[in-house]
């Protein structure tokens, strides 16, 4: 399999972002680094696209699709679901 740009890859990047939240990455990063926000860094490579274009595309995709306000609670919390 060749490297490809982030939007056309086979990985569910939204689910990986949600998993980072689920395991506490934002809170842990902010606590350790003394910051208010945690970075979401992408690495993009492509067998076909220009490297700079691929990087711009990854930054745009991340900003447009993977950065969102995080809920403070969930429907499951109110229903008594276990973690």
Residue 47, classed as helix, strand or coil, is: coil
Residue 1 pLDDT greater than 50, yes or no? no
Helices 13-22 and 25-33: crossing angle in degrees, nearest 10, is 60
pLDDT 10s digits, 3-61:
778 888 788 999 999 999 999 999 999 999 999 999 988 887 888 889 899 989 999 99
Give the whole-angstrom CA distance, residue 50 versus residue 26: 31
């Amino acid at each position: 399999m060749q490297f490809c740009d982030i939007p056309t890859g086979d990985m569910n990047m939204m689910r990986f972002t949600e998993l980072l939240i689920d395991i506490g990455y934002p809170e842990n990063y902010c606590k350790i680094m003394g910051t208010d926000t945690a970075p979401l860094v992408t690495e993009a490579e492509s067998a076909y696209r220009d490297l700079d274009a691929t990087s711009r595309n990854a930054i745009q995709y991340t900003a447009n699709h993977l950065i969102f306000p995080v809920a403070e609670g969930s429907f499951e919390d109110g229903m008594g679901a276990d973690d």
